[in-house]
A and B are shown apart, each in its own frame.
Chain A
Amino acid sequence: MGSADPERTGGYPSSWERPTVFYSKNVKYLVYGAIGLFVLWSAWELRPSPARLIGGADAATSLLATMFPPDFTPEARGRIWTGMVESIAMSIVATAIGVVISIPIAVMAAENLVPRPVYYVGRALVSISRSLHELVLAIVAVVAVGLGPLAGVIALVIATPGFFAKLMAEELEDIDEGQADAIRALGGSPVQVLLYGVAPQVIPRMIGLIIYRWDINIRASTIVGIVGAGGIGVTLLNSFDRYEYDFSLAIILAIIAVVMFGEILSAVARRRVQ
């Protein structure tokens, strides 16, 4: 131990540098510096001039003044109701159709169930669906089929596999292979293997995921209207265009209420199922 060390006094280094994940301290500072510069440059690109900030403060006060109190007159309530019913209906229809098309994609994206090339196609479909925001899908769908809830439904349907097929594929990859093998051993076709060897194992989880996705689709269905794809979002955008900010606030409060209600409902339902 130390006391036996001949160099006990003075033999120890008087500096120490913390090891870093970068190669050296200098590289570390270089990286931090580069990140800092990049952020500064991005901020500069925004150029928020003082005039704009002051104007913003004025606009904000007048906006808040018009927003309060929120417009909950019977007429406004009626319009909110119509839009909200459309949004919720869109979310339900889109979840149903989306799940139906997601199931084959989930099977394709499950490593243990399909040949390699099919697996890659499955993963690619999931990736694409995940990467595009519902609103991007909605704006394209509006171009293809016109304004209205159909475009919204299509957007949500296309967005569903990115979440549902991905998580479903993970469930499928976790199954007990023995049960699938048993059906194979009996001479079952691949479809029979899926129906009798795989499906019973994943159905409870699948129902949980369906409810979860529905919850997400409710949120999305309240905003796709902003690009014209139906639902309460259309009402919201119109209120902004007409400067009826008190009505906008009422709509937003209604959206928050519905989203939270959906979240609670979905949480409770998922707990019951599992």
Chain B
Amino acid sequence: MLTITDLEKVYPTGDKALQGVSMEVDGNEVVSIIGPSGAGKSTLIKCVNRLTEPTSGSIVLDGEELTTLSKKELRKTRRDMGMIFQEFNLIERLTVMENVLSGRLGYMGSWDAFRRNFDDEDVQNAYEILDRVGVGGMENKRVDELSGGQRQRVGIARAILQRPKILLVDEPTSALDPETSFEVMEMLTEIAREEDIPVLINIHEVELALDYTDRIVGLTDGEVVFNGTPAELDENARDTIYRSGKSREETGTESQPQSQNESSSSGISDASKEKSF
């Protein structure tokens, strides 16, 4: 399905965000990427649909090499990759319906897009998906009137309406409270199962990864340091993933208290305690 080989990314600033990452996502697997802040999780996801251009390496989706696609081919292939963002990235001043239907933009001519002239079938599907993600009846609301949880549901609906072959998800719950985080993760994974598509998801909270994903990839300083099932993620493995996070913390680049906990050895037990809640 999705195969990443020796992927490297060096930002113009000299930051080596990815240093030879190789991994796979198969069938309808839900794979999570965990790792301390700055490990390169977002960079990895964005390299897959080339919102960020990788420096070297290869990414193959369904037998197609993505890193060498021309602009036109890339646009076409991006339709096959639904993306869900940490900050939702919805068009705030448009209605929920327009946002969901914008998932079809890759399939439409620009003139139809401009006139909001969507296919009947797409409209029907959009209504259905809105219902499924739990925001049915809100189609005429403007997105800036919604709560965070509702926004992320719209974000999921938009990605699903793309009928993608894979979902790329970048920290879908960081902007949400814990309760809503669980609901959104639950729904996201359920829908992916129903649609029978794989998910590649960045997660900050280890307990969400343990609960909702089939496989966990640990990323530290742009390198894969763990790749296994949730059951295999023992204290030792966590130590490896978050160990170098400690030095980052000392340099003062940490911002989220959650990851600060995780990156100190005592924080790990905190995280596992939280899991029970």
Does B113 lie at the interface of the complex (its beta carbon under 8 Å from any beta carbon of A)?
no
The residue among A1, A5, A10, A16 with the most chain B CB atoms within 10 A of its own CB is: A16
Partner of A12, one of B98, B124, B140: B124
Q: How far is the CB of B42 from chain A (nearest CB, A)?
A: 30
Partner of A16, one of B97, B132, B134: B97
Does A117 lie at the interface of the complex (its beta carbon under 8 Å from any beta carbon of B)?
no
The residue among A2, A5, A13 with the most chain B CB atoms within 10 A of its own CB is: A2
Q: How far apart sit A10 and B95, CA to CA, in the bound complex (Å)?
A: 23
Q: How far apart sit A199 and B52, CA to CA, in the bound complex (Å)?
A: 59
- Contacts of B132 on A, CB cut-off 8 Å? 1-3
- Contacts of A16 on B, CB cut-off 8 Å? 97, 101, 118, 123, 126-127, 139
Q: How far apart sit A13 and B120, CA to CA, in the bound complex (Å)?
A: 8
Q: How far apart sit A2 and B120, CA to CA, in the bound complex (Å)?
A: 20
With known contacts A18-B95, A18-B98, A19-B95, A12–B134 Cβ distance under 8 A: no
Does B128 lie at the interface of the complex (its beta carbon under 8 Å from any beta carbon of A)?
yes
Which of B's residues lie within 8 Å of A, judged by CB? 95, 97-98, 101, 116, 118, 120-121, 123-129, 131-134, 136, 139-140
Q: How far apart sit A5 and B97, CA to CA, in the bound complex (Å)?
A: 20
Count of chain A residues with Cβ under 8 Å from any Cβ of B? 13
- Contacts of A19 on B, CB cut-off 8 Å? 95, 140
The residue among A5, A14, A15 with the most chain B CB atoms within 10 A of its own CB is: A14
Interface CB pairs A-B, < 8 A, 30: A1-B131, A1-B132, A1-B134, A2-B129, A2-B131, A2-B133, A2-B136, A8-B128, A8-B131, A10-B124, A12-B123, A12-B125, A12-B127, A12-B128, A12-B131, A13-B123, A13-B127, A14-B121, A14-B124, A15-B120, A16-B101, A16-B118, A16-B123, A16-B126, A18-B95, A18-B97, A18-B98, A18-B116, A19-B95, A19-B140
Q: Are A5 and B131 in contact (CB under 8 A)?
A: yes
Q: How far apart sit A1 and B194, CA to CA, in the bound complex (Å)?
A: 14
- Contacts of B116 on A, CB cut-off 8 Å? 18
Q: How far apart sit A5 and B128, CA to CA, in the bound complex (Å)?
A: 10
Q: How far is the CB of B180 from chain A (nearest CB, A)?
A: 16
Q: How far apart sit A19 and B140, CA to CA, in the bound complex (Å)?
A: 7
- Contacts of B101 on A, CB cut-off 8 Å? 16
Chain A: CB-nearest residue to B125: A12
Q: Contact flags (1/0) for A48-59 with B, using CB distance below 8 Å?
A: 000000000000
The residue among B98, B131, B132, B140 with the most chain A CB atoms within 10 A of its own CB is: B131
Q: How far apart sit A15 and B139, CA to CA, in the bound complex (Å)?
A: 12
- Contacts of A13 on B, CB cut-off 8 Å? 123-124, 127
- Contacts of B129 on A, CB cut-off 8 Å? 2
Q: How far is the CB of B195 from chain A (nearest CB, A)?
A: 13
Q: How far apart sit A13 and B122, CA to CA, in the bound complex (Å)?
A: 10
- Contacts of B133 on A, CB cut-off 8 Å? 2
In chain A, residues 1-35, which have Cβ atoms closer than 8 Å to a Cβ of chain B?
A: 1-3, 5, 8, 10, 12-16, 18-19
With known contacts A1-B131, A2-B131, A2-B132, A14–B95 Cβ distance under 8 A: no
Q: How far apart sit A18 and B123, CA to CA, in the bound complex (Å)?
A: 12
Given A5-B131, A16-B97, A16-B127: 15 more A-B contacts, CB < 8 Å: A1-B134, A2-B136, A12-B124, A12-B125, A12-B127, A12-B128, A12-B131, A13-B124, A13-B127, A15-B120, A16-B139, A18-B98, A18-B116, A19-B95, A19-B140
Q: Are B128 and A14 in contact (CB under 8 A)?
A: no
Q: How far apart sit A18 and B97, CA to CA, in the bound complex (Å)?
A: 8
Q: Are B134 and A15 in contact (CB under 8 A)?
A: no
- Contacts of B139 on A, CB cut-off 8 Å? 16
Q: How far is the CB of B17 from chain A (nearest CB, A)?
A: 38
Q: How far apart sit A5 and B116, CA to CA, in the bound complex (Å)?
A: 28
Q: How far apart sit A10 and B121, CA to CA, in the bound complex (Å)?
A: 10
Q: Are B128 and A2 in contact (CB under 8 A)?
A: yes
Q: How far apart sit A8 and B139, CA to CA, in the bound complex (Å)?
A: 17
Q: How far is the CB of B116 from chain A (nearest CB, A)?
A: 6
The residue among B95, B97, B128, B132 with the most chain A CB atoms within 10 A of its own CB is: B128
